[in-house]
Chains A and B, each alone.
Chain A
């Protein structure tokens, strides 16, 4: 792991450790070391360093809400905003517990895309009508309710093979 311009550059061993943790964060340092052919103390040192630098943000459980009995509905809101107010709207949205994710996007107009969870359609509508539509700068809102999930994955280091190859090549030189 090297530092350049305040950014952390990971080497191929770091990426392999991250990949192993993303596959199973509960495995031991010894198990990771064994699978990668490195000492468990090396795994420990690198993980601790990546935790300190915020590369590893947290260890969490991925829960299947449906199996856990939650009957919530998920919707995607596309919020058209006045460009001057867009950041304020996005920041306000971030404060609401019903909002799971917030993004800004620039297409023909400036948009905010937010993922929202609600108990049912009525509470979803109530939340949007009372907490989102009144925000200064909101021009209009389109909401799509999610009916079926086909795929959901988190960003994985292993999903970015180009970056991995680049670092591998560099480390081989």
Chain B
């Protein structure tokens, strides 16, 4: 299951970063690793747009099939972070989750 979460998805299942309805930034992620990297790169406006629509939770739970990560993102949402606080919060959760999955994969 852990290796499954770390898999690379086909293009049609990737997460596509938008800044508002219909406005695609050109950035996408096809794996948890890439998603973690892109959170640092994309505009904060895009993070706020997806975060408060629940898109990150939905994609991590339904596509990546990582319910634990989705719950952690949901918990962060209750704190209503914006701007750099949001970026840092997401970054922390994602790096921790990715590192944990990677390390347990080899033991």
Interface residue B88 (Cβ < 8 Å from any Cβ of A): no
Write out the residue numbers on chain A whose beta carbons fall within 8 Å of the beta carbon of B26.
Answer: 80, 139-140
Interface residue B101 (Cβ < 8 Å from any Cβ of A): no
Please give me the residue from chain B that is nearest to A116 by CB atom: B22
Q: B24 near A133 (CB under 8 angstroms)?
A: yes
CB distance from B65 to the nearest CB of A (A): 18
Write out the residue numbers on chain B whose beta carbons fall within 8 Å of the beta carbon of A142.
Answer: 22-23
Q: B14 near A77 (CB under 8 angstroms)?
A: no
CB distance from A78 to the nearest CB of B (A): 10
Q: A143 near B23 (CB under 8 angstroms)?
A: yes
Which has the most chain A C-beta neighbours within 10 Å: B22, B25, B28? B22
Q: B21 near A133 (CB under 8 angstroms)?
A: no
Interface residue A71 (Cβ < 8 Å from any Cβ of B): no
Which parts of B14-73 form the interface with A (CB within 8 Å)? 14, 16, 18, 21-26, 28
* Bound CA–CA A40/B35 (angstroms): 69
Interface size class of B (residues with CB under 8 A): 10 to 19
Interface residue A48 (Cβ < 8 Å from any Cβ of B): no
Tell me the interface secondary structure of chain B in the complex: strand
Write out the residue numbers on chain A whose beta carbons fall within 8 Å of the beta carbon of B12.
Answer: 130, 134
* Bound CA–CA A75/B26 (angstroms): 19
Which of the residues A124, A130, A136, A139 comes within 8 Å of B22, measured between beta carbons? A124
Interface residue A104 (Cβ < 8 Å from any Cβ of B): no
CB distance from A86 to the nearest CB of B (A): 15
Interface residue A128 (Cβ < 8 Å from any Cβ of B): yes
* Bound CA–CA A120/B104 (angstroms): 44
Q: A143 near B21 (CB under 8 angstroms)?
A: yes
Q: B16 near A125 (CB under 8 angstroms)?
A: no
CB distance from B56 to the nearest CB of A (A): 13
A-side residues, CB < 8 A to B, are 75, 77, 80, 121, 124-125, 128-130, 132-134, 136, 138-143, 145
B-side residues, CB < 8 A to A, are 11-12, 14, 16, 18, 21-26, 28
